[in-house]
Amino acid sequence: MGDEKVKNEAMEIMGLFQVLPRLVVFDLDYTLWPFYCECRSKNEKPSMYPQAKGILHAFKDKGVNVAIASRSPTPDVANTFLQKLEIKSMFVAQEIFSSWTHKTEHFQKINRKTAVPYNEMLFFDDENRNIQAVSKMGVTSILVGKGVNLGALRQGLSEFVKNSASVEKNKEQWRKFSKEPGSSKSDAQ
């Protein structure tokens, strides 16, 4: 399936959802491409998973920003590959550095750069430990098996909408609570 066909199908999938994330964050190794950067040379020609590029373009066309959170010990190789694949300029934030924090530090930096709240982000990664850690921050996080594909996209958007609905429900419950007699807010008035 070509990039354009994937992009069109991804845009159709996105059209099924009333709420889209403000920012979608991708890991690189085994998420956007099928290898570890540190095992490759900058001189090589990189390739992406078959549906990854079309999905990136669909997000951009829908006005959804994309970012990178990668714990690569070779950011120079990763950046060279992003240039060679002609996708480097697509990302509003690129946090590519080695870390022991399971990407929490990456997301703190992305949050500071973009001002997008964690609960308005969607994240794709191939490592469960990163998914677990970032989920605790409030980011909807999806574990991918063989790279980002249309199935992972559909799953991610479904989970994001479900999480968004529960956040809104909690906000509404808080508003009701804060207006009730005896609550600290209404007492102060």
Question: Which residues are tagged catalytic?
Answer: 27, 29
Residue 165, number of CB atoms within 10 A of its CB: 11
How buried is residue 163: exposed, middle or buried, by Cβ count under 10 Å (0-12/13-18/19+)?
A: buried
| Rounded Cα–Cα distance for residues 109 and 8 (Å) | 32
Residue 34, number of CB atoms within 10 A of its CB: 16
| Rounded Cα–Cα distance for residues 4 and 22 (Å) | 23
Paired sense of beta strands 23-26 and 91-96, if any: unpaired
Residue type, 28: L
Half-sphere exposure of residue 47: CA atoms within 13 angstroms, side-chain side: 4
Q: Are 48 and 29 in contact (CB under 8 A)?
A: no
